[in-house]
Amino acid sequence: MKTNNSYAVFGLGRYGLAVAKELVENGADVLAVDNREDLVNDAVSELPVCRCADITDAEAIKQLGISNMDVVIIAISGSLETSVMATTLCKEAGVKTVIVKCSNEMHAKILSRVGADKVVLPERESGIRLAKNLLSSGFVDIIELTSNISLVEIDVKSEWDGKTLVDLNLRKKYSINVIAIQQNNDVSTDIDPTKPLETSMKLIVVADKNKLEKMR
């Protein structure tokens, strides 16, 4: 699975390392950063590009080339101040998507207000799952049911807008079984296959992961 996006992971603790390794193993370009030299040295054997830097320093952010990154994952939940500063600097550098690990709901609200595009509470989402979501390109919230079958939320593509499930025939083309449709935070399992889809909808499906690649 190859992605064209470039990623930076700030913080090489257990969570950040899991995210970075999963991204690298799936062919992503990843810059791993931590201010602790021992963690950087430990990660060098598993991550091609590791740097020791202070992510709260604007000059360090510039030197790292963060403005060239598509996604930055800030995996440091121990210091709200550090996360806030790093988020602010990344957004000021023009990073499109900044994802921040946080320790509680209050910190999540604060980080959202200062510009975080997504906040992650580690008890809700593992680092590996986050990486898989990032790599899935329109396939979100992947939950592995077995080694090859997943429960996945799929964004309704623009080319599907106005078409029905009958028109798309996803089961025959991609071996995808739609079990629910989500729109405006409402999830319905009472699916009308003749109802036109909208891009504001998400399809909740059970699918073979290998077949998802064909769909991409």
Confidence of residue 1 (pLDDT cuts 50, 70, 90): very low
The whole-angstrom separation of Cα 2 and Cα 139 is 14
Based on the fold, state whether residues 124 and 181 are members of the same structural domain: no
Q: What is the pTM of this model?
A: 0.62
Question: Do 10 and 34 contact (CB within 8 A), yes or no?
Answer: yes
Using DSSP, how many helices (H) and how many strands (E) does the chain show?
Answer: 9, 11
The whole-angstrom separation of Cα 129 and Cα 118 is 14
The whole-angstrom separation of Cα 30 and Cα 4 is 11
Based on the fold, state whether residues 68 and 144 are members of the same structural domain: no
Give the pLDDT of residue 86.
96
Residue 151: which CATH number? 3.30.70.1450
Based on the fold, state whether residues 144 and 124 are members of the same structural domain: no
Based on the fold, state whether residues 68 and 47 are members of the same structural domain: yes
pLDDT over 50 (residue 52): yes
Instruction: Read off the pLDDT of residues 118-154 as tens digits, 9 standing for 90 and up.
Output: 888 775 556 666 666 666 655 555 555 666 677 777 8
pLDDT over 70 (residue 167): yes
**Which of the pair, 174 or 66, is modelled with greater confidence?**
66
At residue 169, the 3 state secondary structure works out as coil
Instruction: Read off the pLDDT of residues 56-106 as tens digits, 9 standing for 90 and up.
Output: 999 999 999 999 999 999 998 778 899 999 999 999 999 999 999 988 888
pLDDT over 70 (residue 51): yes
By residue range, what is the domain housing residue 163?
139-215
**Residue ending a domain, choose from 80, 105, 135:** 135
Give the pLDDT of residue 142.
53
Question: Do 82 and 13 contact (CB within 8 A), yes or no?
Answer: no
Give the pLDDT of residue 2.
46
pLDDT over 80 (residue 37): yes
Place of tokens 């449709």: 181
pLDDT over 60 (residue 156): yes
Residue 1 lies in a domain: no
